[in-house]
């Protein structure tokens, strides 16, 4: 979660010092949220993306490749677990109105999950997986978007600690 907070602070700092130069295909973003199940803890994501091809020339639809880091809290019968992931995905942003867009993501992740059985004992699992997400974005300025996403990223930590519930997030995206 500290990484997500640092990414949000960095995003705000970059937005404050950026000039009025031509927009680059690079962007960064961060969001926070929670899974739709009460048994799970908070979630966060920080990402960097690159718009491909004619995305800047065709503002109606933008295709991007993103690299992201995720963190999610999990719990089962009093045992806390934390899942940290790195992911790569294909993202699409489709403009609906001047300020409103819909988005989609499809990708793969590699997750390291740590389960705390007690203060002295924990175990770690590492597994790859897939995820998909849909969302909406509202353009505040030519460079800043407010985003909200619903992401499905199933995790299988142990036979008892699994997560198949979607994660709902809200965040900011800044284009350079």
pLDDT digits (tens, 9 = 90+) for 62-77: 899 999 999 988 776 6
pLDDT for the residue 19: 44
Q: Which two three-digit tokens encode residue 161? A: 């600690």
Rounded CA-CA distance 108/128 in Å is: 7
CA distances 38 to 65, 73, 90, 163, Å, are 32, 11, 29, 12
Segment 132-158 mean pLDDT: 91
The upper half-sphere exposure of residue 5, i.e. CA atoms within 13 Å in the direction of its Cβ, equals 3
How far is C-alpha 5 from the geometric centre of its chain's CA atoms? Answer: 13
Report residue 85's pLDDT band, with 50, 70 and 90 as the boundaries. very high
CB 62 within 8 A of CB 92: yes
Q: Delineate the domains of the chain, giving CATH numbers in brackets.
A: 2-175 (2.40.160.20)
Judged against a pLDDT cut of 80, whether residue 151 lies above it is answered with: yes
| DSSP strand pairing (61-76 vs 144-152) | unpaired
> Of the spans 36-45, 125-134, 140-149, which averages the highest pLDDT?
140-149
| DSSP strand pairing (100-116 vs 79-95) | antiparallel
CB 19 within 8 A of CB 13: no
When comparing pLDDT for 36 and 12, which is higher?
Answer: 36
pLDDT for the residue 77: 67
């Amino acid at each position: 979660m500290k990484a997500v907070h640092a990414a949000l602070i960095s995003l705000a700092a970059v937005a404050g010092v950026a000039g009025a130069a031509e927009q680059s295909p690079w962007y960064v973003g961060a969001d926070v949220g929670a899974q739709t199940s009460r048994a799970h803890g908070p979630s966060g994501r920080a990402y960097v993306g690159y718009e491909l091809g004619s995305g800047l020339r065709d503002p109606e639809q933008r295709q991007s490749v993103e690299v992201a880091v995720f963190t999610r809290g999990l719990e089962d019968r009093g045992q806390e677990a934390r899942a940290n992931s790195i992911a790569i995905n294909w993202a699409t942003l489709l403009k609906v109105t001047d300020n409103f867009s819909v988005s989609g993501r499809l990708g793969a992740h590699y997750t390291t999950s740590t389960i705390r059985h007690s203060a002295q004992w924990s175990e770690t699992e590492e597994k790859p997986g897939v995820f998909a997400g849909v969302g909406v974005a509202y353009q505040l300025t030519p460079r800043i978007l407010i985003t909200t996403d619903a992401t499905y990223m199933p995790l299988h930590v142990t036979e008892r600690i699994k997560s198949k519930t979607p994660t709902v997030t809200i965040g900011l995206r800044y284009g350079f």
